[in-house]
C-alpha cells in the first residue's frame, strides 16, 4: 500500500513509534490483512476511504500478516481481516470480518472523537460519575425496555464484572449470541474472568514469593504469583513475572506466559504501563 497522510504500512521497525507511541495522541486503527484474503480486499478500501474522510481524527495502520507474523502474534490475531483500534498505547476495541460501510461508521462513531469540540452540556454529562451498581440498574432497565438488543446484555456482563459479581458476569457472557463473541469488550471480559479463575485454589502471596525465591525456575509458582500480584494491584510486578517466564521458558505450559501478558494488556487501564510492557514483550521476539 502507498502511504498517505492518514494511512501507512506497519512493520516491526515502525510499530512502536507509529502505532504504540502515536496512539497516545491520535487513535490508530490497525487493519490485519493478507494479499490472498478476499474479504480484506473489500474492507481495506473502505477503511482507507474513512481514514481520509475523518481527516486526521484517526490514522489507519495496515499489517500484512504474512510479512509481519510477529506483530499478528503480539495482538493474538487468529483470523483476518481483524481490525483493532489502539488508543493510549493499547488495544481499545476491534472487530473481525469485513463489515459494511454503515457498521464501520457506527464502530468509529463509538470511539473516535470528532475534530470539533463537543457541546459543553454533553461534556458535563459524560464526566458524571456512575457507581457499578448504578450501571447495573441502568442497563437492566434498558434491557427491560429493549429486550431484543443483545449488545445490552454484554453491557450488563461488564457492569457485573466491575461490581465484582464474577459468577453473574460469567453467566451473562456465556449467554451472549455468537455474533458478539468476538466483540473486543467480550474478549476483554473473558480475559478478566480467566485471570480471576486462575487464582482458584492458588497459594497465598507470601507462600508463592517464598517458592519463587527458593527456585527461580518454579514456573507454576511464578505464574500464580504474577496473576495474584496483577489482581491485587501491583500490576508491574505481576507483568515482570510473566516476562521472566516468557524470556526463560517461552514454551512452558503451551506458551502460557504470552497468554497471560495479552490477557493483562487487555484488562489494564494504565496506558503508559501497558505500552511499556508491550514493548518489552515485543523486544523478546526480535
Contact 203, 272 (CB under 8 A): no
Query: Is the link from the previous residue into 81 a cis peptide, with omega within 30 of 0?
Result: yes
Confidence of residue 274 (pLDDT cuts 50, 70, 90): confident
Q: From CA 59, how far away is CA 45, in angstroms rounded?
A: 14
Tens of pLDDT along 171-223? 888 888 877 777 777 888 888 888 888 888 888 989 999 999 999 999 999 99
Which one from 37, 84, 173, 189 is the annotated catalytic residue? 37
Give the homologous superfamily in CATH for domain 7-111.
Answer: Glutaredoxin (3.40.30.10)
Tens of pLDDT along 4-47? 778 999 998 999 889 988 888 899 999 999 999 999 999 999 99
Task: Mark whether 40 is an active-site residue.
Answer: yes
Closest CA to 162 of 130, 200, 194: 130
Closest CA to 68 of 24, 6, 18: 18
Q: What was the pLDDT predicted at 128?
A: 55
Place of cell 504469583: 225
Contact 162, 138 (CB under 8 A): no
Q: Residue 4 gets which letter from DSSP?
A: B
CATH fold, domain 205-283, is: 1.25.40
117 pLDDT more than 70? no
Strands 59-64 and 28-33: parallel
Stretch (H or E) spanning 41: helix 38-54
- Sheet bearing 7-9, strands edge to edge: 7-9, 59-64, 28-33, 82-87, 90-96
86 pLDDT more than 50? yes
Distance of alpha carbon 271 from the chain centroid: 11
- Fold agreement between 132-197 and 205-283: yes
Q: From CA 82, how far away is CA 94, in angstroms rounded?
A: 7
Q: From CA 183, how far away is CA 82, in angstroms rounded?
A: 11
Tens of pLDDT along 235-244? 999 999 999 9
Q: Residue 202 gets which letter from DSSP?
A: P
| SS3 (DSSP) at 33 | strand
Q: Count CB-CB contacts under 10 A for residue 105.
A: 13
Closest CA to 8 of 79, 47, 59, 76: 59
CATH placement of domain 132-197: 1.25.40
Average pLDDT score, the chain: 85
Q: From CA 278, how far away is CA 239, in angstroms rounded?
A: 10
Contact 184, 94 (CB under 8 A): yes
Q: Which three cell numbers stand for residue 188?
A: 476483554
| Mean pLDDT confidence for 137-151 | 84
Question: How many CA atoms, within 13 angstroms, populate the side-chain half-sphere of residue 164?
Answer: 2
Stretch (H or E) spanning 271: helix 271-283
103 pLDDT more than 80? yes
270 pLDDT more than 60? yes
Q: From CA 261, how far away is CA 267, in angstroms rounded?
A: 10
Domain boundaries, the chain: 7-111, 132-197, 205-283
| Mean pLDDT confidence for 133-143 | 86
Q: From CA 22, how far away is CA 28, in angstroms rounded?
A: 8
| Mean pLDDT confidence for 267-283 | 85
Confidence of residue 275 (pLDDT cuts 50, 70, 90): confident
Which one from 19, 22, 29, 40 is the annotated catalytic residue? 40
Task: Mark whether 37 is an active-site residue.
Answer: yes
| Mean pLDDT confidence for 141-154 | 84
Q: From CA 43, how far away is CA 63, in angstroms rounded?
A: 13
Contact 248, 211 (CB under 8 A): no
Amino acid at each position: 500500500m502507498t502511504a498517505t497522510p492518514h494511512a501507512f504500512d506497519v512493520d516491526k521497525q515502525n510499530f512502536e513509534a507509529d502505532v504504540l507511541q502515536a496512539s497516545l495522541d491520535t487513535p490508530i486503527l490497525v487493519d490485519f490483512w493478507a494479499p490472498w484474503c478476499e474479504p480484506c480486499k473489500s474492507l481495506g478500501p473502505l477503511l482507507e476511504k474513512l481514514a481520509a474522510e475523518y481527516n486526521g481524527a484517526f490514522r489507519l495502520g495496515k499489517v500484512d500478516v504474512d510479512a509481519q507474523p510477529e506483530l499478528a502474534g503480539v495482538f493474538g490475531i487468529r483470523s483476518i481481516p481483524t481490525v483493532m483500534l489502539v488508543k493510549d498505547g493499547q488495544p481499545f476495541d476491534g472487530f473481525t470480518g469485513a463489515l459494511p460501510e454503515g457498521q464501520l461508521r457506527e464502530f468509529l462513531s463509538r470511539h473516535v472523537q470528532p475534530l470539533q469540540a463537543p457541546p459543553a452540556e454533553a461534556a458535563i454529562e459524560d464526566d458524571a460519575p456512575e457507581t457499578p451498581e448504578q450501571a447495573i440498574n441502568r442497563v437492566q432497565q434498558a434491557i427491560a425496555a429493549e429486550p431484543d438488543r443483545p449488545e445490552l446484555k454484554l453491557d450488563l456482563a461488564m457492569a457485573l464484572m466491575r461490581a465484582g459479581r464474577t459468577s453473574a458476569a460469567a453467566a451473562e457472557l456465556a449467554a451472549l449470541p455468537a455474533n458478539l463473541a468476538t466483540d473486543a469488550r467480550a474478549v476483554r471480559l473473558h480475559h478478566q474472568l480467566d485471570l480471576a479463575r486462575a487464582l482458584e485454589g492458588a497459594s497465598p502471596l507470601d507462600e508463592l514469593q517464598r517458592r519463587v525465591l527458593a527456585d527461580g525456575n518454579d514456573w507454576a509458582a511464578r505464574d500464580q504469583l504474577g496473576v495474584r500480584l496483577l489482581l491485587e494491584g501491583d500490576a508491574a510486578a505481576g507483568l515482570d513475572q510473566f516476562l521472566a517466564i516468557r524470556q526463560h521458558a517461552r514454551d512452558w505450559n503451551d506458551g502460557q506466559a504470552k497468554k497471560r501478558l495479552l490477557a493483562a494488556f487487555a484488562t489494564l487501564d494504565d496506558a503508559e504501563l501497558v505500552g511499556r510492557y508491550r514493548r518489552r514483550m515485543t523486544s523478546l521476539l526480535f
